[in-house]
A and B are shown apart, each in its own frame.
Chain A
Amino acid sequence: MTILSIFDIGLVVLILAVGAASIGMREAFSAVIGFVVYGLLLSIAWVRLSAVDVALTEAAIGGGMTGMLMLGAVARLRFAKGNDSRTSLPVRLAAGILCALVAAGLAIAVLSPPEVIPTLAPMAMENLPQSGLGNPVAGVLFVYRALDTLLEKVVLILALLGVWSLAPDRMWGGIPGLRVYAQPNSKLTFLAQLLPPVGIVVAVYMCWVGAKEPGGAFQGGTVLAAMWLLVMIAGLTSVPSISQRWLRLLLVAGPMIFLAIGIAGMVLANAFLAYPAGYAKPLIVAVEVALTLSIGVALGLLAAGPPERVQRP
């Protein structure tokens, strides 16, 4: 067991060092790179904690999408202020104190666990076979706490509306201001042709395997979003305007189907979001498929940013 504990300690030290390096960076761009590396390393840490579902999400969200969002912010700052983007000392002090408080709170929570850690895991595992699912995480997400999952997807759409509402009035319904790497660059074009087919297969696989083993709609949707962004960045497809009907339909399809099945459960299974006996697994897989598409579109548009151009007729 000693080799394992040395590995774990080394990993933790490395993660802390990368975190510190990321904070210490002078340039915002380099700090974001540090953050992405931190996210990718964290997914290895989650694997060591046997939380493979979380590891998958961390690799996708922490390593890929959040980095993309932050790089968008960095580019915007550069564009707005040139290179003179230093914040004043009081603001930096306040941000530092706030971060320290959050870190201290988390540290207290982690370092002083209760004597007996309350857990519902045995009960969750015991009742899992009734749903026909094999992955306990999917069971919690779609059976025991389905309402939370539904609201989480609605929150994603609200977040997107928040980003869209940053647009000035006359840009409403326009095209998101995703900055495109539009040099006639055959290398990026090649990558954008090579990677998406692989990514789409991986996304379908993630969504399908989620019922039985680690994986699921969120991981699959994030992969779809990344592939869509890659194709748009390479200029192989244009960025759609946010008033497109198909776009909005795809955005709400997942939550709407989830909600419809939930309401049908009131009639057929006597409770909101309950599944009729024997149909739990097919219904859950249907919801997951719809959610994968919606999450993919929502995350892609979140990274693409608020509308900045009006569509030319």
Chain B
Amino acid sequence: MASFLFAAAGFVLTTIALGLLVILRRRAEVDHMMAAQLLGTGGVAILLLLAAATEAPPIVDVALLLALFAAFAAVAFVRSASGSEHEVQDTASGR
């Protein structure tokens, strides 16, 4: 069973690797932002497979944090994408 799960983890890693390399080679910012999303799902799947294969439950916690921070990183990307910044109060008054 363990070697099947490892093989599945390796397969998912391969698909993610392909996706990531294609995404990062494109020029549009939007494509780059998808990278966090890709790892949010694929990375979590890999970690869960590894946790089951090595019978090490703490790895599930890593998957949990990865899911949480992939979402957080994606929000940070969207906020910082050029032109989408809006400040609540204009900083000009303070400058």
Contact = CB atoms under 8 A, between A and B. Distances in A.
Nearest to B33: A33
Contacts of A36: 35-36, 73
Interface in B20-73: 20-21, 24-25, 29, 32-33, 35-36, 39, 43, 46-47, 50, 56-59, 61-62, 64-66, 68-73
Nearest to B34: A33
Given A21-B24, A40-B70, A52-B56, A14 B91 contact: no
B24 A174 contact: no
Nearest to B70: A40
Chain B, interface SS category? helix
Given A180-B87, A181-B79, A214-B58, A41 B39 contact: yes
Contacts of B82: 29, 78
Contacts of A44: 43, 46-47, 50
B24 A34 contact: yes
A183 B86 contact: yes
A174 B94 contact: yes
Contacts of B91: 177, 308-309
Question: How many interface residues does chain B have, given as a range?
Answer: 35 or more
Chain A, interface SS category? helix
Contacts of B95: 308
Contact of B68 (A50, A55, A181, A199): A199
A29 B94 contact: no
B84 A181 contact: yes
B21 to A, nearest CB: 6
A226 B68 CA distance: 9
A285 B62 CA distance: 21
Interface in A164-196: 171, 174, 177, 179-183, 188, 191, 195
B75 A233 contact: yes
Contact of A230 (B47, B66, B75, B77): B75
B75 A182 contact: no
Nearest to A83: B82
A7 B76 contact: no
Contacts of B17: 10, 13-14, 17
Nearest to B36: A36
A166 B25 CA distance: 36
A40 B61 contact: no
Contacts of A33: 24, 32-33, 35-36, 77
Interface of B: 3, 6-7, 9-10, 13-14, 16-17, 20-21, 24-25, 29, 32-33, 35-36, 39, 43, 46-47, 50, 56-59, 61-62, 64-66, 68-73, 75-82, 84-89, 91, 93-95
Interface of A: 3-4, 6-7, 10-11, 13-14, 17-18, 21, 25, 27, 29-30, 33-34, 36-37, 40-41, 43-44, 47-48, 50, 52, 55-56, 59-60, 63-64, 67-68, 71-72, 74-75, 78, 171, 174, 177, 179-183, 188, 191, 195, 198-199, 202, 206, 209, 213-215, 219, 223, 226, 229-230, 233, 235, 238, 308-310
7 contacts: A4-B6, A7-B10, A13-B17, A14-B17, A17-B21, A34-B32, A52-B62
